[in-house]
Amino acid sequence: MKKTTIGGQALIEGILMRGPSKYSIAVRKPDQDIDLVVKDLENNKINLMKIPFIRGVVSLFDSMKLGMDALMYSASFYEDDSENFFDKHFKNNARKIENVFSIIVSVSLALLFFFFIPTFLTSFVKLNHSSFSFNLIEGLIRIIIFFTYLFIVSRSKDMKRVFEYHGAEHKSIFCYEKGLDLTVENVRKQSRLHPRCGTSFLFTVMIISILVLGLVGWPNPLMRMLYRIILLPVIVSISYEINRLIGKYDNKITAMLVKPGLWVQKFFTVREPDDKMIEVAILALKNVIPEKEDEDLW
């Protein structure tokens, strides 16, 4: 079975698909028509994606920006017509400013909940442990926060539909990788759980962070925070390369390593889609498939 680098993201009533040279956004509008946007990726980013370790950081931040832009775009079809703060104060630049603001808030909250709070809580541990033990405890707190967040989010009615679109994305990619025609019937039969999902990447980041941060000891609180920010690109880069390596091979070891990510998908972030969602996924995917067969090989 072919393994593709094409990946996607579930949106508000839609799906973002990203291929080797293009990306597409397909959104089911309130009138039930599908809105489609297809654009080329920037060449300089495509070249950077070929450099090991550099590509991990580039991929993360580019995915965040593109994902946020796509999310805001899909949400625009379901907003009321009233003027919000950004429309009132920034006029023509409102969407761009709103997207930048959303990214800043998202990154800040991620740092707060997954780095600062775990470090702060671990500071109250008074047992005489090694520095690595403190970092291990911090990592476990981070994982607990992660699963608590997923549990709360997965209970949301609105997020339930997003997770169903997530399932449609996975199923369509599986269908394409098997070389089957991209029809609703063929896509529906595929598994909603995909071993190369971004959920697995997040889980890898948390595990690698324990190992990397364990090497810098347990200095004073200010230095701890500084180390975590400085080493974040290193953690992301290592995690990205490990995920690429795991995704490349099929054996007992890689099967064991992808299990945690599949469990997270099964219980929290991926649900069975309906046929209308599958139609959106198929349209988004068809528009990013490269002309050359081997251009999107994993």
Residue 298, token pair as written in the block: 């994993």
d(CA 116, CA 229): 10
The contacts of residue 185 (CB under 8 Å, 6+ apart) are: none
CA 52 distance to own-chain centroid: 19
As a 3-state breakdown, the chain gives helix, strand, coil percent values, each rounded to 5, of 65, 10, 25
Side chain identity, residue 256: M
3-state class of 17 per DSSP? strand
Taking a C-beta distance cutoff of 8 angstroms, is the pair 20, 295 a contact? yes
pLDDT attached to residue 87: 62
pLDDT tens series, the chain, 298 aa: 899 999 999 999 999 999 999 999 999 999 999 999 999 998 777 777 778 889 999 988 899 899 999 999 999 999 776 666 666 656 667 677 877 788 788 888 888 998 889 988 988 887 666 778 888 899 999 999 999 999 999 999 889 999 999 999 999 999 999 999 999 999 999 999 999 998 888 888 989 998 998 888 777 878 888 888 899 999 999 999 999 999 888 999 999 989 999 999 999 999 999 999 999 999 999 999 999 888 999 8
Backbone angles phi, psi at 182, to 5 degrees: -80, 80
Rg of the chain on CA atoms, in Å: 20
What the block records as the tokens of 83 is: 């003027």
- Listed residue (231, 260, 256) closest to 143, CA to CA: 260
What's phi and psi for 123, nearest 5 deg? -60, -20
Count of CB atoms within 10 A of residue 145's CB? 16
Q: What are phi and psi of 202, to 5 degrees?
A: -60, -40
Q: Where do runs of H (alpha helix) occur along 15-116?
A: 43-48, 54-76, 85-90, 94-111
Edge-to-edge strands, sheet with 7-11: 7-11, 14-18, 22-28, 34-40
For residue 211, the cross-strand partners are none
